[in-house]
Structure 1
C-alpha cells in the first residue's frame, strides 16, 4: 500500500471548488437525490488535510454553486440493502421528483454467507426500473477493490461479480457509471476508515471529484 503524506490541495485526483464549479457550468439539474447505503450516504472517518464532507454533500455543494435553486435529498441509510432501499426509500424519492439520481451498487447485498447473485440482479433491476421511470439522469459507483471483508474468502470475486451486475444494468438503463474498482486510490494506505470498510474523507473527496468529472462529460455530450 502506498503511504504518502498529502492533502486535498495537493491530491492529483481531487478538484478544488472553483475547478469543480467550472466543470459543471451549465448543469441543468435542480433536483438532486441520493438513495442507498453508507456509500451513498458518504460515511467515512476524517483524514487530516481533507474536508470532512462525504462525497454526496460535496457534489451537492458544487451543483448548488452552479444552480443556487438546487433542491437536494439524501435518504440513504447505513446498512441498507437494495431491498431496503426499494421498500423504504422510494416513496420519499418519488415525491421529491429528482432530475439527477444516484443509486447504490449492492455493497450490503454481498455481505452474507451465501449471496444469491441472481436475486441481487433482480432486485437491483427493480430499483433501476423504478429509478428510470422518474426521468432523472442516473449515476452509480462500482465497489473499490480496497473494500475487503476478510471473513469471506471469496470476497474479491463477490465484488467483481456485483460490479459486473451493476455495469450491465447501468448500460441497459442508461446510467452513468463511476468505476472505482481499479482506481489508483485503492492502493492508498489511508483510504479506508478505521472499520476497514468505508472510504475515509480522503476517499470521499476523490469520489466527489470523479462524480463531478463524469457529470461534466454528461453535460458536454448533451451540448453537442
Structure 2
C-alpha cells in the first residue's frame, strides 16, 4: 500500500513551487481538448488532491493570474478523430493562448491502432491551435500496461505496452516537429510503479494526477525561464 502523501511525495510540487515557476506567466485563456485524461477520471487516493489533472493545471495558472478563463472540452472514450471533429472548432472559437491536447490512448489501446492516422489528427489540431496564437501542451502518457488491475489480462500487456510506447514516442516527435511544449510522463521515474494506477486498469489515481501536474508546471516554468520576454511582467516594462 502506498503510504506517502502529496506533500511528502518527492515527485510532486512543494508549497510555493507553482508560484515561483509560473510567476508572470502570460496565459489568460486556457483550453483543454481530449479524452478521459483531459476530462478527469483519476481515482481518488488518500493523501492526494481529489481535483482532477486539467482542473489542477488551471488552478495553478489562475493562482498567479487571477481571472484566467478556462474551457475543458475533454470527454471520456474519444479517439483522436473524434476529438478533432468535436472539440477543435469550439476550442478555436474560445481563442485560447494556451491549449492542452491529450488524446490517442483510446486509439492505441486495441490492436487496431493506426499510428499514422492518429499522427495526422494530432498534427491537424496542433497546427490549427498554434496558427490561432496558442501555445500547445502535449502529453506522453503513463503506460497503463503497468497497471496491476486484473481488468488488463496478461496476454494483452505486451502488445499494449508496445502500442502505448509508440504513441508516446510519436507524440513526442510531433511535439518537437511542431514546437509544442511536451510533458513526458512515459519516461518518468515513477512510470512503472503499480501504485500509480486506478483499479479500472485504464487511468491513474490521485498520485498519478499529482505527478502529471508537477511535470506540467515544471515544463511551463522551464519554457518561461528560457523565454523571459513571454512573461506578463516583461511585457509591461
TM bucket, shorter chain: over 0.9
| CA deviations over 1:177-213 (Å, ceiling 9, x no partner) | 1111121222333211110221101111111111001
Long gaps (5+) in structure 1: none
| CA deviations over 1:128-156 (Å, ceiling 9, x no partner) | 22222221111111022344554534111
Residue of 120, 123, 127 corresponding to 1:122:
120
The residue aligned with 2:32 is 34
The residue aligned with 2:227 is 222
105 and 78 in structure 1: CA distance in 2 versus 1, 3 angstrom threshold: closer
Q: Secondary structure at the match of 1:154?
A: helix
The residue aligned with 1:207 is 212
Residue of 92, 95, 104 corresponding to 1:94:
92
Q: Secondary structure at the match of 2:138?
A: strand
Q: Secondary structure at the match of 1:8?
A: coil
Instruction: Work out whether residues 7 and 48 of structure 1, in 8 Å CA contact, stay in contact via their aligned partners in 2.
Output: yes
The residue aligned with 2:183 is 178
Stretch moving more, 116-125 or 133-142: 116-125
Q: TM-score, normalised by structure 1?
A: 0.93
The residue aligned with 1:187 is 192
Stretch moving more, 111-120 or 195-204: 111-120
1:75 aligns with 2:73: yes
Distance, in Å, in 2 between the alignment partners of 1:125 and 1:69 is 30
Instruction: Work out whether residues 105 and 162 of structure 1, in 8 Å CA contact, stay in contact via their aligned partners in 2.
Output: no
1:144-183 equivalence runs, <5 A: 144-147=142-145, 149-150=152-153, 152=156, 153-183=158-188
The residue aligned with 2:233 is none
Q: Secondary structure at the match of 1:185?
A: coil
The offset of 1:114, in angstroms, is 1.9
Long gaps (5+) in structure 2: 147-151, 230-237
Ranges of 4+ aligned residues in structure 1 off by more than 3 Å: 146-153
Instruction: Work out whether residues 105 and 163 of structure 1, in 8 Å CA contact, stay in contact via their aligned partners in 2.
Output: no
The residue aligned with 2:149 is none
181 and 205 in structure 1: CA distance in 2 versus 1, 3 angstrom threshold: same
Q: TM-score, normalised by structure 2?
A: 0.88
Instruction: Work out whether residues 145 and 160 of structure 2, in 8 Å CA contact, stay in contact via their aligned partners in 1.
Output: no
Instruction: Work out whether residues 146 and 186 of structure 1, in 8 Å CA contact, stay in contact via their aligned partners in 2.
Output: no
| Cα root mean square deviation, aligned | 1.6
